[in-house]
Amino acid sequence: MERIYNFSAGPAVLPQEVLEQARDEMLNWQGSGMSVMEMSHRGKEFMGIAAQTEADLRELLAIPTTYKVLFLQGGASSQFAMVPMNLLRGKTSADYVNTGEWSKKAIKEAKKFCSVNIAATSEDKNFSYAPAQDKWMLNKDAAYVHYTPNETIGGVEFHWVPDTGGVPLVADMSSNILSKQIDVSQYALIYAGAQKNIGPAGLTIVIVREDLLGQTVAGTPSMFDYKIHADNESMYNTPPTYAMYIASLVFKLLKSKGGLAAMEQHNIAKANALYDCLDSSAFYTCPTARENRSRMNIPFTLKDAALDEIFLKGAKEHGLAQLKGHRSVGGMRASIYNAMPIEGVKALVEYMKAFEKKNG
Ligand SMILES: *Cc1c(COP(=O)(O)O)cnc(C)c1O
């Protein structure tokens, strides 16, 4: 069977070249006589893979040497707790910006550790926009400011970096990391589950300013202490070895394709193609504010929700899969991460136009 165009929000499409290389190396990685899955994480082979994975990520994001890069497990959801446990550093409150489902989960978890000040929210318009900086009510004594640069469910993306007046900025970049160039030094901590834009589920990446480590709240388990992972180069326990290997293949591919500047152009072109289709039609509607439209996750509704099932069934028949929207938004959602080729977006647009002609 041919591969389909997979618009899943996550776990999501991976580059075909990466899957092919993983297949070719499945039974015998580079003459080692074994699969990467079977290697000791402390053996020479895997230590080499791990070092290269980190080096390539550092190069792609131009991560300053004053930051640690951690390869953890537990998903972005574990970070919702690990961030306050590690970054409160004796303070009693933190600022959170609430722009949707993932922000809400981060806030709920943080409330177990500190008082949470909602510095800004877009709840008034069903989380369809990113509150402008001048609407933020920041607390200068906050331990940190947490926000979600790309809300995967609502399809709301910040195309600017908040100014927190020196308070450490924390970003849940699960669904837009590596989609564009960023200046890591503007953040105190960036975290991301891998299964959207990096690799397989099971790997969580944390990039954190070194000077913030080592002041966890009392009772923090070792596995939740960034400093312990940093001091042990993410080998305090067994890291997600195979997921790291796949991530390393993705990083290598991104580098060979011109890095994040090229990826950004590729993603802008794809997003524009889909938004142009939505904007030129009275049949489809995108609920997101124009200036906050995500380049990664694009929700849209059909004129008549009764057509949703027919749309999805027809899409599947055209090799366009996983387009059903999240229940909180309804309608459709096309996730078009780095690994989605422009041909996939063009095929979707073509299908949408034909569907509108027939049912509009
Ligand atoms: C998917 C996602 C999460 C949850 O990730 P898990 O790895 O499943 O815990 C958190 N935040 C954002 C923005 C996401 O897209």
Q: Which atom of ligand 1 is nearest to the CA of 152?
A: 15
Domains assigned to the chain: 17-256 (3.40.640.10), 258-359 (3.90.1150.10)
Task: Verify whether ligand 1 is closer than 6 Å to residue 148 (CB atom).
Answer: yes
User: Does the pLDDT value for residue 329 go beyond 80?
Assistant: yes
* Spatial CB neighbours of 177, under 8 Å, sequence gap ≥ 6: 190, 192, 196, 197, 198, 205
pTM of the full structure: 0.98
Average pLDDT over residues 251-264: 98
pLDDT of residue 35: 98
Distance (Å) of CA 210 to CA 44, 69, 95, 185: 27, 9, 21, 12
pLDDT of residue 254: 98
- Whole-number Å distance, alpha carbon 21 to ligand 1 midpoint, is 27
Average pLDDT over residues 229-237: 98
Task: Verify whether ligand 1 is closer than 6 Å to residue 102 (CB atom).
Answer: yes
Task: Verify whether ligand 1 is closer than 6 Å to residue 172 (CB atom).
Answer: yes
Confidence band for 134, pLDDT divided at 50, 70 and 90? very high
172 catalytic residue (yes or no):
yes
pLDDT of residue 2: 86
Confidence band for 1, pLDDT divided at 50, 70 and 90? low
Average pLDDT over residues 22-49: 98
102 catalytic residue (yes or no):
yes
- Whole-number Å distance, alpha carbon 76 to ligand 1 midpoint, is 5
- Whole-number Å distance, alpha carbon 193 to ligand 1 midpoint, is 6
Q: Which atom of ligand 1 is nearest to the CA of 194?
A: 7
pLDDT of residue 327: 87
Q: What is the pLDDT of residues 140-157, one digit of tens each?
A: 999 999 999 999 999 999
124 catalytic residue (yes or no):
no
Confidence band for 360, pLDDT divided at 50, 70 and 90? confident
Q: What is the pLDDT of residues 80-94, one digit of tens each?
A: 999 999 999 999 999
Task: Verify whether ligand 1 is closer than 6 Å to residue 76 (CB atom).
Answer: yes
48-80 residues labelled b (16+ CB within 10 A) or e (exposed): ebbeebbebbbebbebeeebbbbbbbbbbbbbb
- Whole-number Å distance, alpha carbon 203 to ligand 1 midpoint, is 11
Task: Verify whether ligand 1 is closer than 6 Å to residue 205 (CB atom).
Answer: no
User: Does the pLDDT value for residue 248 go beyond 70?
Assistant: yes
In this prediction, what percent of the chain has a pLDDT beyond 90? Answer: 98
Task: Verify whether ligand 1 is closer than 6 Å to residue 193 (CB atom).
Answer: yes
Average pLDDT over residues 208-212: 98
Average pLDDT over residues 114-124: 98
Least confident span in 98-107, 194-203, 246-255, 320-329:
320-329
pLDDT of residue 106: 98
Cβ pair 7, 336 in contact under 8 A: yes
- Whole-number Å distance, alpha carbon 154 to ligand 1 midpoint, is 13
